[in-house]
């Protein structure tokens, strides 16, 4: 017998089937819910009585779905598997009994989540550190006090015990306003910011797309303060009117929101080169480049963002520790190609 349909204590989603809907309910729901739930999980929810079509309970995953149907789904919190250690190479910059500082490569997810339950930095850390990681971050995030996007490279610090975790977390929450914490990124962006040095103060919230962020009014229910300081370090393909094809920009965070630098730079008209979510409108800019540079830029398929500097106070000794990491090979090659463009423009 199916369990009773209940909305109490669970996340409820209401979906309206579009004109392309047709066929089995479980297949359509799996596609509609993206990577949140597997098809087998969806089938189990249907059999448990957690799905209704136009108000009627459904218990068969093969039930038909039609355009215009209203589908209500009760989505319980997903049961996260406990991450296991995996022998994934780590570039360790420093390690002691309290912290480990690593250089995260582009392409490595920081912690397990939907669609990425294995092959993450956490899996690598568990293998490398054993049981010494702080447990404050929970099962999915042991030792993690800050994060970088999957395709952003750069320096990260991880806590190896709970005392270190609390100390580091407080520093990151303060964002260096009253302490020694510093975080700096190097970005390669399209165009040239109107100001060579400035501050972007623009609140961020969820976009209409589930995984994206957008600049929103502070009055919006989910908007949170977001402040980025930037300075143009170098310009490429500079024109007589002062504009440029691209620029290298140093960014420093006063707040640490999801996708903050990527959204802020796009907001002022200078999205990151290669950004697949916030820079697609600028893809035609590549046509302004010489053939050699065009090939390198066209083959760069991630946001050109690297966390090159991290400074913090050691949680045990109180010593200020500073780590810098050079650009990874792919960004170094991109920078070299853009510099050739700079020479060609002269």
The model carries a pTM of 0.75
Q: Quick check: 197 and 276 in contact, CB under 8 A?
A: no
Rg (CA), the chain: 23
CA-wise closest residue to 73 among 15, 152, 4, 32: 15
Q: So which residues are the catalytic ones?
A: 149
Tens of pLDDT along the chain (346 residues) come to: 334 445 444 567 788 888 777 888 988 888 887 656 677 778 888 888 889 999 998 999 999 998 999 999 887 665 556 888 999 999 999 999 999 999 999 999 998 876 777 899 999 999 999 878 988 877 778 999 999 999 999 999 999 999 999 999 999 999 888 999 999 999 999 999 999 999 999 999 888 776 789 999 888 778 899 999 999 999 998 888 878 899 999 999 999 899 999 999 999 999 999 999 998 877 777 888 888 888 898 889 999 999 999 999 999 999 999 999 999 999 999 999 999 876 555 5
**pLDDT on residue 45:** 85
207/201 Cα distance (integer angstroms): 18
Q: Phi and psi of 290, rounded to 5°? A: -70, 165
218's CB contacts (< 8 A; 6+ apart) are 203, 225
Q: CA dist 247 to 51, 197, 270, Å?
A: 51, 12, 9
CA-wise closest residue to 149 among 193, 93, 212, 72: 212
Q: Quick check: 24 and 63 in contact, CB under 8 A?
A: yes
How many Cβ atoms sit within 10 Å of the Cβ of residue 344?
13
**pLDDT on residue 77:** 63
60/225 Cα distance (integer angstroms): 46
Domains defined along the chain, listed by start: 11-75 (3.10.290.10), 91-174 (3.30.2350.10), 183-345 (3.30.2350.10)
Q: Which residues pair with 103 in a beta bridge?
A: 91, 155
Helix runs in 72-203, H state only? 121-129, 162-174
- In this structure, what token pair is assigned to residue 152? 């952003």
């Amino acid at each position: 017998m199916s369990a009773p349909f209940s909305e109490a204590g669970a996340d409820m989603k209401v979906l309206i089937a579009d004109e392309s809907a047709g066929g089995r309910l479980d297949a359509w729901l799996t596609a509609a819910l993206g990577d949140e739930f597997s098809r087998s999980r969806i089938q189990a929810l249907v059999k448990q009585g957690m799905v209704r079509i136009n108000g009627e309970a459904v218990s068969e995953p093969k039930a038909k779905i039609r355009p215009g149907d209203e589908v209500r789904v009760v989505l319980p919190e997903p049961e996260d598997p406990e991450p296991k250690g995996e022998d994934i190479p780590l570039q360790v910059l420093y390690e002691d009994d309290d912290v480990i500082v690593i250089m995260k490569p582009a392409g490595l997810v920081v912690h397990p989540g939907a669609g990425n339950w294995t092959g993450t930095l956490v899996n690598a850390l568990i293998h490398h550190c054993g049981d010494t990681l702080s447990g404050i971050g929970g099962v999915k995030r042991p030792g993690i006090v800050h994060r970088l996007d999957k395709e952003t490279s750069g320096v990260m610090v991880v806590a190896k015990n709970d005392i270190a975790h609390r100390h580091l977390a407080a520093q990151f929450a303060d964002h260096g306003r009253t302490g020694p914490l510093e975080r700096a990124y190097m970005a390669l962006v399209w165009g040239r910011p109107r100001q060579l040095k400035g501050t972007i103060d623009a609140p961020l919230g969820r976009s209409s797309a589930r995984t994206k962020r957008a600049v929103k009014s502070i009055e919006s229910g989910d908007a949170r303060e977001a402040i980025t300081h930037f300075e143009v370090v170098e310009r490429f393909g500079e024109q007589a009117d002062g504009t440029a094809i691209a620029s290298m920009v140093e960014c420093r965070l006063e707040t640490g929101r999801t996708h903050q630098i990527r959204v802020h730079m796009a907001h002022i008209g200078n999205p990151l080169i290669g950004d697949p979510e916030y820079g697609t409108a600028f893809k035609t800019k590549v046509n302004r480049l010489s053939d050699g540079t065009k090939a390198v830029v066209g083959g760069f398929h991630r946001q050109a963002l690297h966390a090159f500097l991290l400074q913090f106070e050691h949680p045990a000794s109180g010593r200020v520790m500073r780590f810098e990491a050079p650009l990874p090979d792919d960004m170094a090659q991109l920078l070299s190609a853009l510099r050739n463009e700079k020479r060609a423009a002269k």
